[in-house]
Amino acid sequence: MTVNGADDVLLVHGGTPLEGEIRVRGAKNLVPKAMVAALLGSAPSRLRNVPDIRDVRVVRGLLQLHGVTVRPGEEPGELVLDPTHVESANVADIDAHAGSSRIPILFCGPLLHRLGHAFIPGLGGCDIGGRPIDFHFDVLRQFGAKIEKRADGQYLEAPQRLRGTKINLPYPSVGATEQVLLTAVLAEGVTELSNAAVEPEIEDLICVLQKMGAIIAMDTDRTIRVTGVDELGGYTHRALSDRLEAASWASAALATEGNVYVRGAQQRSMMTFLNTFRKVGGAFEIDDEGIRFWHPGGRLKSIALETDVHPGFQTDWQQPLVVALTQATGLSIVHETVYESRLGFTSALNQMGAHIQLYRECLGGSDCRFGQRNFLHSAVVSGPTKLEGADLVIPDLRGGFSYLIAALAAQGTSRVHGIDLINRGYENFMDKLVELGAKVELPGKALG
């Protein structure tokens, strides 16, 4: 189901536990990047377990603009990507995608290798704090790219073959690590990346590139070494499941006192979340096909929580879980260390009856890079509190799903505005809500 235009408001009649089964498919933070990687190959690639989300549609459109043939495969959720006839795209057509996604920045390396030039328009994405793209361009310059800033975006050229280099990340950024990987694999010589991100989605992207013929070694100290090769082929790959979506449904089950089986959820990539979920008082059961999450009754427990890069507690898990923490007994402390503005969504929860106070200090076990920069990046959640329905305007992807959880857990009816943003990362979320027994409706149009 596609939600847009006048249908961008959802009525949520709260107070009903979510119960039933839903399925999560490939990770939003891997699939679009694996699609970009297909640009590097000299033969078609086959990607399986692809979710029908907006980021996938954006990348599919950009690939097609550059001459890549993208068609459905033999099984549901499979794409076949043929980069045999890569070509330059019209600047106006590329610019039409500006503001809809940050993923176009990752086209730079592959296009420089294939065409010798690339154009990157202005970029969008969720407003959850600074995610500067300047570092991407600095890295590309180190590889030998020439970059010209123009009124409508950035124009890049590679007069000669890009060359391997040594790069040290000041912070283990996922996007920067992806940029280096997608550029280094065809660059001449060896690239050494220090302080790299090592999220499961990064490892899965490395698996994709290795299948294509890349030579990539990961050390235990966050160092990745890439030996450039002259040519890459295609790949056949089944994307790892979306651990961030799975955790969102788990938090929804906990906050609504429900019972949800998430088919496709995988223990290995969710171990840190599962430990925290159990500490709060949630219950789960793991089998070969997925994980069942439920509220076992009784009181939920307050906790102290710090977000961090993998293998720490992921920042994308924080917002949905905070909704459940409003129902825990006592004071929970949340220290956000990844995105400085990610706790802004709590103001709407307070309007619904939550008691959440934000602080500029680091309320955690260690100082972080935001502690002296005047950002409200720590929260104290006092509970349990009854939530009441309200008018809510979705601020970003994870915050938006958190508002949905709060509306589902609240008494009364909430009007949730801007739900189209949730389509960026949650496949068929409206249908899944109905399958779990949620009482939701589009104004003038009942669902289910």
Place of tokens 């409206």: 430
Q: Between vectors from CA 266 to CA 261 and to CA 267, what angle results, nearest 5°?
A: 100
Is pLDDT above 90 for 398? no
Instruction: Using DSSP, state whether 242 is helix, strand or coil.
Output: coil
Nearest to 426, CA basis, from 247, 280, 299, 270: 247
Q: What percent of the chain has pLDDT over 90?
A: 79
The Cβ of residue 272 has, within 10 Å, a number of other Cβ atoms equal to 17
User: Does residue 383 share a domain with residue 370?
Assistant: yes
User: Does residue 261 share a domain with residue 187?
Assistant: no
User: Does residue 290 share a domain with residue 228?
Assistant: no
Question: Confidence class of residue 447 from pLDDT cuts 50, 70 and 90?
Answer: low
Instruction: Using DSSP, state whether 342 is helix, strand or coil.
Output: coil
Is 446 within a domain?
Answer: no
Total number of domains in the chain: 2
- The Cα 230–Cα 40 span in angstroms is 11
Is 305 within a domain?
Answer: yes
Average pLDDT over residues 224-253: 98
Q: What is the mean pLDDT of the chain?
A: 92
Is 183 within a domain?
Answer: yes
Helices (H) and strands (E) in the chain, counts: 13, 25
The Cβ of residue 446 has, within 10 Å, a number of other Cβ atoms equal to 10
Q: How far is CA 179 from the centre of its chain?
A: 16
Q: Are the C-beta atoms of residues 310 and 198 closer than 8 Å to each other?
A: yes
Is 41 within a domain?
Answer: yes
The Cβ of residue 231 has, within 10 Å, a number of other Cβ atoms equal to 11
The Cβ of residue 52 has, within 10 Å, a number of other Cβ atoms equal to 14
- Produce one character per residue of 89-117: b if its CB has 16 or more CB atoms within 10 Å, e if not: beeeebbebeebbbbbbbbbbbbbbbbeb
Preceding amide of 172 cis, omega within 30: no
The pLDDT value given to residue 122: 65
User: Does residue 232 share a domain with residue 109?
Assistant: yes
Choose the final residue of a domain: 219, 236, 253: 236
As annotated, the binding site for UDP-N-acetyl-alpha-D-glucosamine includes 102, 316, 338
- The Cα 169–Cα 303 span in angstroms is 31
The pLDDT value given to residue 120: 84
What amino acid occupies position 44? Answer: P
Average pLDDT over residues 347-361: 97
Is 444 within a domain?
Answer: no
User: Does residue 246 share a domain with residue 199?
Assistant: no
User: Does residue 272 share a domain with residue 254?
Assistant: yes
Is 210 within a domain?
Answer: yes
User: Does residue 40 share a domain with residue 145?
Assistant: yes
For residue 282, give its domain range. 7-23+240-439
User: Does residue 178 share a domain with residue 153?
Assistant: yes
User: Does residue 17 share a domain with residue 41?
Assistant: no
When mean pLDDT is compared across 89-103, 129-143, 153-167, 173-187, the lowest value belongs to 89-103
- The Cα 124–Cα 156 span in angstroms is 19
User: Does residue 387 share a domain with residue 416?
Assistant: yes
Q: Which residues contact 89 (CB under 8 A, 6 or more apart)?
A: 62, 65, 66, 67, 119
Question: Confidence class of residue 395 from pLDDT cuts 50, 70 and 90?
Answer: confident
What amino acid occupies position 316? Answer: D
Average pLDDT over residues 345-354: 97
The pLDDT value given to residue 2: 38
Place of tokens 């008018």: 391
Q: Residue 360 has which token pair? A: 């500029």
User: Does residue 38 share a domain with residue 78?
Assistant: yes
Q: Between vectors from CA 343 to CA 301 and to CA 438, what angle results, nearest 5°?
A: 65
User: Does residue 287 share a domain with residue 417?
Assistant: yes
Is 448 within a domain?
Answer: no
Backbone angles phi, psi at 146, to 5 degrees: -105, 130
Q: Which residues contact 445 (CB under 8 A, 6 or more apart)?
A: 7
- The Cα 281–Cα 295 span in angstroms is 8
What amino acid occupies position 391? Answer: D
Residues belonging to the active site: 126
Q: Give the domain CATH number at 89.
A: 3.65.10.10
- The Cα 205–Cα 185 span in angstroms is 12
Choose the final residue of a domain: 201, 236, 271: 236
The Cβ of residue 131 has, within 10 Å, a number of other Cβ atoms equal to 16
Q: Quick one: which H or E segment has residue 432? A: helix 429-435
Is pLDDT above 80 for 389? yes
Is 368 within a domain?
Answer: yes
Q: In what order do the strands lie in the sheet with 45-48?
A: 69-72, 79-82, 45-48, 236-238
- The Cα 412–Cα 103 span in angstroms is 38
Is pLDDT above 60 for 99? no
Q: Residue 155 has which token pair? A: 């124009």
The pLDDT value given to residue 127: 47
What amino acid occupies position 48? Answer: R
Nearest to 416, CA basis, from 341, 429, 425, 342: 429
Choose the final residue of a domain: 197, 212, 236: 236
Is pLDDT above 90 for 406? yes
Q: Residue 163 has which token pair? A: 């060359």
